[in-house]
Structure 1
Amino acid sequence: MAIALACLAFASIAQAEEDIVLGLNQTQVSISTNFNGSEIIIFGAVKRETPIPNTSQLQVVVTVSGPSKPVVVRRKEKKFGIWVNTDAVEVDRAPSFYAVATSGPLRDVLSRVEDLRYKISVPRAIRSVGAPMDISDSAAFTEALIRIRTKANQYQLNEAGVSVDQQTLFRANVQLPAALVEGDYDTRIFLTREGKVIAQYNTLIDVRKVGLERWLYNLSREQSLIYGLLSLAIAIAAGWLASAAFAMIRR
């Protein structure tokens, strides 16, 4: 029993030998009317109390996750020459944005067991528990969601997107698209050796609407009637101006 406890204590000390000191170029992202995306630079260093282990190469994994919410994925089929919705599956939880950057191929940097434990890869970050009994291929709906959001740059996997210098300094760039959901973006950094996570660091990036975007967002949520009337007035004014401009051109 004493030997087992000693081994556990030694393992804990070994795990704590390397720790993360992190920095971000910005901890807040402001969404304004002319917002077309942003770049987050994540940089840091590995703090050690012992020499660098020479048994295996240090690897780094960075993830940035936007707010999660349920998503309904529908399947379309062509019937009588018309595309119609047929089956639908609700994914219990899917991040609005999710990026993974690694210092090497993900399969080499992280084992499947650790991926299952920490939910690092894109498929693991999505939670889909159940589906209607009449749908046998529910996994295809999750794959379709990943494919659609990857095409829209909302889901990203950038293997070799993290540079590591002398197994001590690391840096990663994450591109945030223009279509961002407001909220806290969970940022995680993992140190791995031989596919196992040896250290982890968590922080948040605050993404908020500002200026006119914030005012319109609050108006649509708090004064929906006024927001609707204002939208209608703007549409009428735009139509009238377009008509007047066209009439002047014809003259």
Structure 2
Amino acid sequence: MTPLFRLLLIALLSLPAVLASPGRANEREAVVLGLSQNRVAITADFDGSEILVFGAVKRDTPIPADAPPLEVIVTVSGPSAPVTVRRKEKKLGIWVNVDSVLVDSAPSFYAVATSAPFGAVLTDIEDLRHKVSVERAIRSVGAAMNIRGAQDFAEAVVRIRREEGLYSLRPSTVTVDQQTLFRTAIDMPANLTEGAYTTRVLLTRGGEVVSSYETAIDVRKVGLERFLYALSRERPFIYGIMSLVIAVLAGWGASAAFQLLRDR
């Protein structure tokens, strides 16, 4: 291989990195994240939890004087699963299901916290790329051609779960100090689904994502709740018999107590 050919080959191989370098310069900012707890235990008296998310921005170089201010987005997403959504209509005085659409993937819980109004911290293109907003976190590939207003079904999932406290957008709830330290608190309701809850932190400047970090929070039932949940899934027959026995004993105990009070 001649020296000239070797030089041309090295130049061609390094060309993509050179072309990409202007857009990747901001990757010199990285997230150092902390969580108040990385595990949530669901017990009999569980009425929700609060996760404190805090961290700092590690930099290799000083912030340029003309750089837009740093903004922070924190998302917490529960396990995703398909959801069947049905539309009802009143026919002959009776409400009946007329259409149904399978939403391919919807998180059981989704919270978005930002350091400023959502439109100010992330552009629509970046939202589409990183799927940050509640609406973009839901994936609905398509519906049958004869179903009108197919997009309404995905919107119905968002509306219902917002009313249940499972989906939320929390603008201006992330505190950023000196473009370096940040913190926020995410409230998690009592009706959580077991699984790994993905926690993402995105740093943005001028509406564009410059860095991101991802970790997970483990949400599990513990104690008696865990035993009963596992029994109902793995041994449904035994779980049914046990539930019947408990119901009979409870009924008999209540009857005996009332009889005792009546005899007095």
TM-score bracket for this pair, using the shorter chain length: over 0.9
Distance, in Å, in 1 between the alignment partners of 2:218 and 2:255 is: 43
- Residue 41 of structure 2 aligns with which residue? 30
1:150 is aligned to 2:162:
yes
Deviation at 1:110, TM superposition (A): 0.4
- Residue 232 of structure 1 aligns with which residue? 244
Give the secondary-structure state (helix, strand or coil) at the position aligned to 1:35.
coil
- Residue 209 of structure 1 aligns with which residue? 221
* Greater C-alpha Rg: 2
The change in CA–CA distance for 1:24 and 1:227 in structure 2 (over 3 A counts) is same
Distance, in Å, in 2 between the alignment partners of 1:79 and 1:8 is: 59
Distance, in Å, in 2 between the alignment partners of 1:196 and 1:249 is: 72
Among 146, 153, 177, the residue aligned to 1:141: 153
- Residue 128 of structure 1 aligns with which residue? 140
Deviation at 1:250, TM superposition (A): 5.3
Deviation string, structure 1 residues 175-216 (Cα, Å, up to 9, x no partner): 111111111111100000010000000001111111001100
Deviation at 1:49, TM superposition (A): 1.7
Give the secondary-structure state (helix, strand or coil) at the position aligned to 1:16.
helix
Deviation at 1:245, TM superposition (A): 4.0
Deviation at 1:3, TM superposition (A): 8.2
What is the correspondence of 1:46-125 to structure 2 with a 5 Å cutoff? 46-54=57-65, 55-125=67-137
- Residue 187 of structure 2 aligns with which residue? 175
Deviation at 1:243, TM superposition (A): 3.5
Q: Counterpart of 1:45 in structure 2: which amino acid?
A: A
Deviation string, structure 1 residues 194-243 (Cα, Å, up to 9, x no partner): 10000000001111111001100111111110001111122222333334
Deviation at 1:89, TM superposition (A): 0.8
The change in CA–CA distance for 1:128 and 1:48 in structure 2 (over 3 A counts) is same
1:18 is aligned to 2:26:
no
Deviation at 1:248, TM superposition (A): 4.8
Count of residues in Structure 1 that have an aligned counterpart in Structure 2: 250
- Residue 160 of structure 1 aligns with which residue? 172
Deviation at 1:63, TM superposition (A): 0.5
Distance, in Å, in 2 between the alignment partners of 1:249 and 1:148 is: 47
- Residue 233 of structure 2 aligns with which residue? 221
Distance, in Å, in 2 between the alignment partners of 1:123 and 1:239 is: 48
Deviation string, structure 1 residues 87-121 (Cα, Å, up to 9, x no partner): 11110000000110000111111001100000000
Distance, in Å, in 2 between the alignment partners of 1:141 and 1:220 is: 31
Q: What is the RMSD of the two structures over their aligned residues, measured on CA atoms?
A: 1.8
Fraction of identical pairs, as percent = 58
Distance, in Å, in 2 between the alignment partners of 1:136 and 1:176 is: 35
Deviation at 1:80, TM superposition (A): 3.1
Q: Counterpart of 1:186 in structure 2: which amino acid?
A: T
- Residue 39 of structure 1 aligns with which residue? 50
Q: Counterpart of 2:226 in structure 1: which amino acid?
A: R
Give the secondary-structure state (helix, strand or coil) at the position aligned to 2:89.
strand
Ranges in structure 1 where 5+ consecutive residues have no aligned partner = none
Q: Counterpart of 1:66 in structure 2: which amino acid?
A: G
Q: Counterpart of 2:99 in structure 1: which amino acid?
A: D
Deviation at 1:77, TM superposition (A): 2.0
Ranges in structure 2 where 5+ consecutive residues have no aligned partner = 1-11
